[in-house]
Amino acid sequence: MADTRRGQVEVICGCMFSGKTEEMFRRLTRAQYAHQKIQVFAHWSDNRYGENLLASHNGKKLAAVSVQNAGEILPLIEPDTTVVAIDEAQFFDWNITELVEKLARRGIRVIVAGLETDFRGEPFGPMPVLMAQADLLDKFSAICVVCGGSATRTQRIINGHPARYNDKIILVGASEKYEARCRHCHEVPGKSM
């Protein structure tokens, strides 16, 4: 079992195209160099790059176990695992918050990545709670495709136009459906202010 003095929760968040998964890869590579046992989990709904894969937009890939909910993860944790990575945490049920606490208390380093806001600019699933639980929190930004400024929002595009507020929240996609935008250039038609 892992050393209980080292268990912690690390959260990597930001808008789409901000490098969240790249940062997760970097941390996992360092853990592998240190001969730590890692296990990687991804939400089953994000299979854009194939099943049982953690993949970044720039083509990096790593084997991962695809799961539908947080309850599936705990039984899969092997006794000698010291690092658990969970990607696309915004898609998980609220039990993910209890799971990461439990793993950290067991002495496991838990690295979680996800979007903190949805295309509307509103808190996305359990991410705000995970961010509050974090021992280490890194918030990444991208480059706004409209003005070139610092992008902190994810803009959904449908037929070349911003998605409306009442469109469904979850729609898995990449650059064909989403853009990184700054607060000023982010648009959500139908959202009351």
User: CA torsion, points 98, 99, 105, 111, in degrees to nearest 10?
Assistant: -120
Q: How far apart are CA 129 and CA 132, in angstroms?
A: 5
78 is catalytic: no
Q: How far apart are CA 108 and CA 106, in angstroms?
A: 6
Residue 100: its H or E element: helix 95-105
One of 23, 88, 116, 179 is an active-site residue; which one? 88
Give CA separation, 22 vs 29, 56, 140, 160, in Å. 10, 6, 11, 28
Catalytic residue annotation: 88
